[in-house]
Amino acid sequence: MDNSYMQNELQKVVVRRLDELGLGPVEAATKAGLERTYIRDIVQGKKLSVRTDKLEALARALQLDPSDLSLSKATASLDASVRHVDVKGFVQAGHWAETWEWGDDDVYSVPVPDDPALRPFMLHAAETRGPSMNKRYPEKTVLVFSDVIETGASLELGRRYIVERERADGLREATVKTLWRDEAGQIWLLPESDDPRFQEPIPIDGNEDDTVRVVGRVVYAVSRE
């Protein structure tokens, strides 16, 4: 792991987001319950990494989902313990097949921070393909997710989820979507894409042509170098 890359990317992510929000580093840290100098030290290059137990607070300060702070950008402490997760398949909207999982020969693993809150649960991972979420995740981003049935966690608006759709003929597609509620109160699974083929939200209850299952909640996004 290239320490200088981690440092530079961490600084760039934080500086860019503070600028977008119009916040100073001390103000942002105070609002998130971090030490006053915590974010300022990142901006000034004094702090080279983010400890796992500070990840949620940093994401809150920057008004990001923790999964938006990918391992290659900002989340991993250089000396923190890591957890390896097997990437066993892919998610791609519009690709219908009997399964979206790979054979054993194609499986590889990625390291993620060993978050104590996630230790009781299995973590799964899939690689993104296609442009259906390219505003958020470039192609071949690895999405690490927890199983929503295993964790028992309620679905949360604004979070991103791995979704499986199954047609009447048994073929399936797996994709990643953002949970969103419209003005009428209806819940949808929303794509974040600049491709006109992937602009329509999916009703969370599916329709007469397919069944929709929310499989897992994205907890990390990892870019392969």
Q: What is the pLDDT of residue 68?
A: 63
Cα separations (Å) of 105 from 86, 91, 97, 110?
Answer: 12, 18, 19, 16
pTM of the model: 0.64
Query: What average pLDDT does the structure give for the chain?
Result: 83
Where does 3-64 sit in CATH, by number?
1.10.260.40
The DSSP code sequence of 86-118 is EEEEEE-TT--BS-SBPPGGG-EEEEEE--GGG
Higher-pLDDT residue of 77 and 128 is 128
Percent of the chain with pLDDT over 90: 34
**pLDDT of 175 higher than 70:** yes
Q: What is the pLDDT of residue 102?
A: 87
Higher-pLDDT residue of 51 and 144 is 144
User: Do you know the residue count of the chain?
Assistant: 225
Higher-pLDDT residue of 95 and 78 is 95
Can you tell me the distance from the alpha carbon of 175 to that of 218, in angstroms, rounded to the nearest whole number? 11
Residue ranges per structural domain of the chain: 3-64, 82-223
Superfamily covering domain 82-223: Umud Fragment, subunit A (2.10.109.10)
